[in-house]
Amino acid sequence: MPTSDAAVSFARDIKPLFRPIDVLHMKPSGHFLDQYAYMSDPKNNHENAQRVYESLIGNPPKMPPGGPYWTAQQLELYASWMQGGYLP
Ligand code: HEM
């Protein structure tokens, strides 16, 4: 697992964090969790990636509904991916 300053890759590190059921349930509302183009879209300050992050944090987190919620380590990895420049 990369440390916070290693290059974090969407395909290698982030995409596998989403379960098939997450991808399936979010697709109809236009949230394409498994698609790099959607997740890395720079428009509105990377709004798509930011909204996903905000849905995963909080107490309790909003997503996935009822859990299991992401661990601190998973959230840190996602944050590092954003800070690292949304690399593929
Ligand atoms: C890692 C998993 C998931 C992520 C990252 C995620 C992400 C999101 C995001 C970003 C939104 C929009 C919230 C906003 O407008 O700010 C949302 C809404 C929603 N999600 Fe998910 N989702 C996940 C899993 C699921 C699952 C498994 C279900 C169903 C069982 C689900 C059902 C919904 C529903 C019904 C809404 C619309 C209602 C609302 O906005 O509160 N999600 N989700």
Nearest CA owner, ligand 1 atom 14: 51
pLDDT score of 3 more than 90:
no
Nearest alpha-carbon partner for 74 in 50, 59, 53 = 53
55 lines ligand 1 (CB under 6 A): yes
Range of the domain at 18: 10-83
Residue 2 lies in a domain: no
* Count of structural domains within the chain: 1
Residue 1 lies in a domain: no
Residue 64 lies in a domain: yes
The percent of residues in the chain predicted with pLDDT above 90, rounded, is 93
Residue 5 lies in a domain: no
Mean pLDDT, range 48-72, rounded to an integer: 97
Residue 60 lies in a domain: yes
Confidence of residue 83 (pLDDT cuts 50, 70, 90): very high
pLDDT of residue 1: 55
21 lines ligand 1 (CB under 6 A): yes
Question: Model-level pTM?
Answer: 0.93
